[in-house]
A and B are shown apart, each in its own frame.
Chain A
Amino acid sequence: MTVVSEPKGASPPRRRSFYDKDVQAIVWQAVFLCVVVAIGWFLYRNTMQNLAARNIKTGFDFLGSEAGFEIGETLIAYSPAANYTRALAVGFLNTLQVAIIGIVLATLLGIAVGIGSLSKNWLVAKLTAGYIHFLRNIPVLLQIVLWYTILISERFLPGPRQAEAFLGIFATQRGVYFPVPQAHAGWTAALVGFLLAAVALTLMSRWNAQRREDTGTARSLFLPGVALLMGVPFLAWALNGAPTAIDWPTLRGFNLSGGARITPEFAAVLFGLTVYTSAFIGEIVRSGIMAVPKGQTEAARALGLKPSVILRKVILPQAMRVIVPPLTSQYLNLTKNSSLSVAVGYPDLVNVANTTINQTGQAIEGVTIIMIVYLVTSLATSAFMNWYNERIALVER
């Protein structure tokens, strides 16, 4: 109650200084910071007390100890004898795998759908618009679960023992098995050759663009490009023994083995993410193209350019400036939505971290790891897309 009586003693000259904008600013910020710090400290102290009272282990020591569980899909060598750090790395790589493939597919599909929805062909326009409106209004988790249920259901797909091959490809409840070339130095050489050819082609197109700037003339790189990309890998393959052996999937024991395999878990997550995100990207592309002034198309047509050239060289470059920022957030959304893998058992980062939390009982550490990894990934993606955005923005003169 003593506090209440104090305001009476407030002296007028001081009051003015309080209403001074700068002083007020500092006071408010100080108070606000105090409150935030106090809340943070309050939560921290509670947590520490709770953990200590119940004798729960804390810290990140567990990262070095043996994980002990098996993971279904791994891009790097992993066994139950590996430690938790490696298990989490496997999960993170799986996240990256599904996110990157998903982003590429969703972009291609989204651009197709977006352009299609502006088509003069009534059928194409209506179908693509229906696609966009229908699929973006169904939760992505539901789509993933629906895909998974269909892909593992005996009503829609046969079991591995009943499956019959089509061109050597088996579509079963356990996933899609397809033949791949048997591992051989020739294939590795071909891959290296392809990469080298791609690098060479990039350099050539740079040089070509420079020449166009300088002299105004440039040769088409289409034919040499195709020759380079096909020829170099072929030569590398032929010179390294020209292997032709193919690894066919065959029924062995319970399951098909050999060949390569796409699991239903991966496929469900990938389909769900791709389809859902492509609907959004389609809408973004559509509004991006609509944002390009009509005069641009008309001018291009007056110059006698072909419709495909107008789209590629006039409309899309301008639309990109409108498209890239929202596209970035769609890429980030797709990456974050890949965390829904946990619902169908695709071993992404969240799934592995979730298992880690359950096995070690260290929820705080587990959730912190997930958050930090996603934050870093998100920031890196934004940084890259901002860089790209600036680059295409420079095209404007």
Chain B
Amino acid sequence: MEAAPPKILDDRAQWLRANLFSSPLNSALTILILVALALVVPKILSWALFNAVFAPDPQACRAAKGACWGFIVEKFRLMTFGTYPYEQQWRPLAVTILLLSLIGATMNLRLWGRRLWITWAICVPLMWILMRGGSIRIPWVLISGALVLTGLIGLARNIGFRDWRFISTLVLLLAGVYRFASSGVFDYPLFLATGMPLVETDKWGGLPLTLILSANGIVFSFPLAVALALGRRSELPVIRALSVGYIEIVRGVPLITVLFMASLMIPLFLPSGITVDKLLRAQIGFILFAAAYEAEVIRGGLQAVPKGQYEAADALGLSYWNKMGLIVLPQALKVVIPPMVNTFIGFFKDTSLVIIIGLFDLLGAVRLASSDVEWRIFYVEGLVFVALVYFAFCYTMAVYARRLETHLNVTTGR
């Protein structure tokens, strides 16, 4: 390059010389690659395009030399929505659109705020209701659980004993515990008829299932992850040890064992008579797994917050929760947004593992579609289709993460 001849060359030639033929070695490499491409690309193109069949006709597919994209045309609905009843498929479609637009909105940092989180909090149960339909019975367990949780949160904050808020949370807590203890789990005080036919979770499938599993997994694992990260950085030895133990054990085993455990063992862990839905069990397994990985990412963020910030908060006499909630976490979480998005991409890909415990996610739905004897040998095309769908989602998120990183680096100015 440094010995470029002082000729006036046209831009294109100059570019070629600089980028493809800068040295003998590079020239050789370029030629080698071009030859290889010339050999391989036409073959791939003729398989994927020129000799491919796009009509849903298995006979034509068998006769042709190329790919059979007709398989995807024929089974598109089954691949997208799994075994969800055909005439009810507007429901998963609505859920998919809802989720995608929510995720899209969340990608816009300017929309971040209380309103967005409340929308999420409303939409998550709404999605389950829309997908499931039928009449929703809300057991005491949930209501009591909510009451107990509110009570515990109240206790965790430093409220004076004579404060009315303390008394009321205590009453809530006791009411919750009392109700829970005396009711038995099969009592359902609230009854909500949706007017839509009931669709059990074992019929859910395809893209909506993949999206639901990953979106719920990410949303619900996040608080647990924050707690674990704080626990791991805590000065209290017991809490630190428990957090470290949890994180390291979960990160040390493959996801598939966590899913096995969730699918085979959760029922054994619970009192007899209580059963948890298969999908919900996988979801719980997912949340517990994702939390450990996210916790490590958040820990990185906590470590990145300058020590002065902690000390300043201490100097102001803030309580632990105020210090973390108001000073440290907002800064830490902002730093970890880009690596967090990368972690989310990983979980999105990992949802494909639920096929092993018998759920029909995107991959499972394609396998189901290919169990039709007419189309079975075109399973490969189905898999390529799913691969492209996954790629489209993951690559979009990855590009987003990279842009976010640049953006945040500029705005924080550090």
Q: Which residues of A contact B (CB under 8 A)?
A: 1, 3-4, 7-8, 10, 15, 25, 28-29, 32-33, 36, 43, 46-47, 49-51, 53, 120-124, 127, 133-134, 137-143, 145-146, 149-150, 153-155, 336-337, 339-340, 342-343, 350, 354, 357, 363-364, 367, 370-371, 374-375, 378-379
Contacts and interface: CB of A to CB of B under 8 A. Distances in A.
Interface residues of B, number: 58
Contacts of A47: 268-269
Interface in B331-360: 345, 349-350, 352-353, 355-356
B219 interface: no
Contact of A46 (B33, B236, B268, B386): B268
A139 B377 contact: no
Given A33-B238, A337-B254, A379-B252, A123 B30 contact: yes
Nearest to B380: A149
Nearest to A134: B391
B34 A141 contact: no
A36 B272 contact: no
A342 B236 CA distance: 41
A10 B160 CA distance: 11
A145 B390 CA distance: 14
A27 to B, nearest CB: 10
10 contacts: A4-B174, A28-B239, A29-B236, A123-B29, A137-B398, A153-B379, A153-B380, A155-B380, A354-B260, A370-B260
A36 B242 contact: yes
Nearest to A116: B29
Contacts of A46: 268-272
Contacts of B265: 363-364, 367
B152 to A, nearest CB: 10
A120 B387 contact: no
Contacts of A154: 377
A150 B383 CA distance: 10
A342 B254 contact: no
Contacts of B161: 7, 10, 15
Interface stretch (B19-27, B70-78, B114-122, B191-199): B19-27
B264 A140 contact: no
B257 A370 contact: yes
Contacts, number: 160
A25 B377 contact: no
Contact of A375 (B20, B166, B174, B249): B249
B272 A50 contact: yes
Nearest to B393: A137
A124 B29 contact: yes
A21 B264 CA distance: 43
Interface in B20-50: 20, 22, 26, 29-30, 33-34
- Does more than half of chain A's interface fall in helix, strand or loop, or is it mixed? helix
Interface string B149-167: 0000000000001100011
Nearest to A341: B256
Nearest to B160: A15
A120 B16 CA distance: 11
B387 A124 contact: no
B268 A137 contact: no
A25 B234 CA distance: 11
A122 B19 contact: yes
Contacts of A142: 352, 363, 383, 386-387, 390
A124 B379 contact: no
Contacts of A374: 252-254, 257
A343 B237 CA distance: 41
Contacts of A124: 29-30, 33
Given A122-B20, A134-B391, A32 B270 contact: no
Contacts of B398: 133, 137
A32 B355 CA distance: 36
A29 B234 CA distance: 11
Contacts of B249: 371, 375
